[in-house]
Structure 1
Amino acid sequence: DLPAQFLEPIREDLIKKAVLAIQNNKRQAYGAYEEAGKRHSVRRRAFRGSGHGISRIPRKILSKTVGGRKAHPPKAKKWGWKLNTKERRKAIRSAMSATMDKEKVPILEEGLEKTIKTKDLLGILTKLGFKEELI
C-alpha cells in the first residue's frame, strides 16, 4: 500500500553525504580579488633606481609598503559540493524510507518543550541515544 520510494533500503552514508552537500552549498565563497593592490590607473615612467637621493621602496608594489597588496590573502574558493544525480535521488528515497522506520524516528510526548533546565533536556536526549549528535 506504500509507494516504492518508502520501500528503499536505508543508506545512512548516502543520507549523510547529501546533507553535508546541502550544508556546504549554503556557504558563500570569499577571498581577495586576485589583482587587489596590484592595479594602478596610470602608467609610471621607468625609474632608474639608485643614486638619486630618494627611496625606492615607496614606488614598489610590495606587501610591506603603503598601498601595496596583502602578503597572504585568503584565496577565493567555492565551497559547494556536487552530488551525482542518481546518488542524490537515492539519498532522497533512502531518507523518505527512513522516516517510515519507527525504530529510527523518535516520537516524544508533549510537554518536553516545557523542560526549563538545559541540564534536564541534555539528560533526556542522552537517554534517547543522541549523545553523538550533542557533541
Structure 2
Amino acid sequence: MSEMKAWLIGILLIIAFFFEPIVNLVLGNIHQTVFFKTTSELSDILKAEGGVNNHVTNIIAQLEARGYSIEIKDTSNNVVTSIVEPGTQLTVFYDYKFKDASGEKTISTTNNVLVLKR
C-alpha cells in the first residue's frame, strides 16, 4: 500500500512541476510554426500581387483579427498601401501576440520582399 502511495505522490509531483513547462513548450512551438508559415505565405502573396491591393488588404485584416500586427514599408521607410513598381523592395514587419499557460507572448520578425510583377 505504501508503495502505491509513494508512486502516486511521485506522479503528482512530476505533473505539478513539469506539466506547465511542457504545455508552454508545445503551445509555443505550435504558435511559432503557424507564425512563420503565415509570414512566408504573405511575403509570397505580396511578391506575386505586386504590392498591396484589395486581396492583400483583406488577408491582412483577417490576420489582424487573429492577433497579428502587420506593417509594410518601402526602402524610404514609407508605409505602402498600393501597388508598387516592379523591382521595388518592401519590408514587412510582423508582430504576433498570443496567450499560453504563463501569459501573453509576442513574436516579431521582419521579411524583405522584392516585387517581381505588377
* TM-score bracket, shorter-length normalisation: under 0.3
Structure with greater strand share of residues: 2
TM-score normalised according to structure 2 size: 0.27
Larger relative contact order (Cα-Cα within 8 Å, sequence gap ≥ 6)? 1
Q: Greater Rg, structure 1 or structure 2? A: 1
Structure with greater helix share of residues: 2
